[in-house]
A = this chain, B = another copy of it.
């Protein structure tokens, strides 16, 4: 039996989604040279500004294209579901985002994305555009601290992109934008918990099995195995378990400031996210850590997966300014 989706032909899902995105957000987005897999912000790139190009597979909406707009990313390259975009749309995005001050590539640390973005960077380098790359590696369940460079990028993407996008919008240099992006990534920590699987539009079969009373802690946003498969616990127990690990890794002194992201992986509704957020705030207060800003909603999903993730970014004054900087994106605004 196929999973239930409101789609047409599964092979057309991404292109049809992009057409629907452009129909809704034509004030903000346009396809570069008619390429539906390379969307650029109408109000983003400008001379002298470092360009920010993000991207990755589809199925994580509003990541990545939802974060394209003035103050955040200049362009997003859009891959098939859970598959990296090929070099072509990445190059299109790069040219469209280029303001003569260099371009920053930012995306989650996945082998396919690294290969294609690197290939694009190499080819675009021949056109004289300087490209730097900052991978996001916020998923602390995906590798031990000593192997941070092996970790995957998940919902914490959002904080790292936001900080970098603000730096670019403030017309800082490529060196500065890269430094701020790396610092934001170093200080961003995420763990997710899945309660159910997701299914690709092409196959409409669940991409893994999960028992009716099970959850998986640390699962990746493409269904990569987590660190523990266990009976489903209460919201407070789940949050405590995640917060214990996040706080241990973050290792922030009392009086530190953070921002919080409680993110739905797809089908977990706001009611549950806010119940989680209640406990997140309690744990932060207990640890004498100040919460500067809280984001609750769907920021990085995994199709219709049930579950949620919690992200903390350990702010300093500079990162706080970057987070508070206004942005005006297709699917996200900060005033």
Considering the chains assembled together, what is the distance between the CA atoms of A201 and B274 in angstroms?
14
A 233-274 to B, binary, CB cutoff 8 A, 1 in contact else 0 = 011101000000000000000000000100000111111111
User: Any chain B CB within 8 A of the CB of A126?
Assistant: no
Rounded to whole Å, the gap between the CB of A58 and the closest CB of chain B is 7
Considering the chains assembled together, what is the distance between the CA atoms of A235 and B274 in angstroms?
31
Q: Is the CB–CB distance between A271 and B212 below 8 Å?
A: no
Q: Is the CB–CB distance between B23 and A281 below 8 Å?
A: yes
Cross-interface CB contact of A24 among B23, B235, B268, B274, cutoff 8 Å: B274
Q: Is the CB–CB distance between A6 and B277 below 8 Å?
A: no
Q: Which residue of B lies closest to A291 (CB)?
A: B23
Q: Which residue of B lies closest to A284 (CB)?
A: B23
Q: Please name all residues of chain B whose beta carbon is closer than 8 Å to the beta carbon of A13 when the two chains form the complex.
A: 271, 275
Rounded to whole Å, the gap between the CB of A268 and the closest CB of chain B is 6
A 154-196 to B, binary, CB cutoff 8 A, 1 in contact else 0 = 0000000000000000000000000000000000000001011
Q: Is the CB–CB distance between A301 and B269 below 8 Å?
A: yes
Q: Which residue of B lies closest to A285 (CB)?
A: B23
Cross-interface CB contact of A306 among B4, B58, B335, cutoff 8 Å: B4
Given A195-B4, A196-B4; A17-B58 close (CB under 8 Å): no
Considering the chains assembled together, what is the distance between the CA atoms of A269 and B81 in angstroms?
13
Cross-interface CB contact of A275 among B6, B270, B333, cutoff 8 Å: B6
Main secondary structure of the interface of A (DSSP, over half): mixed
Q: Please name all residues of chain B whose beta carbon is closer than 8 Å to the beta carbon of A5 when the two chains form the complex.
A: 272
Q: Please name all residues of chain B whose beta carbon is closer than 8 Å to the beta carbon of A18 when the two chains form the complex.
A: 274
Q: Is the CB–CB distance between B238 and A6 below 8 Å?
A: yes
Q: Please name all residues of chain B whose beta carbon is closer than 8 Å to the beta carbon of A275 when the two chains form the complex.
A: 6-8, 13, 16-17, 20
Q: Is the CB–CB distance between A296 and B20 below 8 Å?
A: yes
Q: Please name all residues of chain B whose beta carbon is closer than 8 Å to the beta carbon of A321 when the two chains form the complex.
A: none
User: Any chain B CB within 8 A of the CB of A203?
Assistant: no
Q: Please name all residues of chain B whose beta carbon is closer than 8 Å to the beta carbon of A335 when the two chains form the complex.
A: 328, 333, 335
User: Any chain B CB within 8 A of the CB of A21?
Assistant: yes
Given A274-B20, A275-B17; A212-B303 close (CB under 8 Å): no
Q: Please name all residues of chain B whose beta carbon is closer than 8 Å to the beta carbon of A301 when the two chains form the complex.
A: 269-270
Q: Which residue of B lies closest to A18 (CB)?
A: B274
Q: Which residue of B lies closest to A268 (CB)?
A: B6
Given contacts A7-B235, A20-B274, 4 further A-B contacts (CB under 8 A): A6-B235, A6-B268, A18-B274, A201-B271
- Residues of chain A touching chain B, judged by Cβ–Cβ distance below 8 Å, are 1-2, 4-8, 13-14, 16-21, 23-25, 58-59, 61-62, 66, 193, 195-196, 201, 212-213, 215, 232, 234-236, 238, 260, 266-281, 291, 294-298, 301, 303-304, 306-308, 328, 331, 333, 335
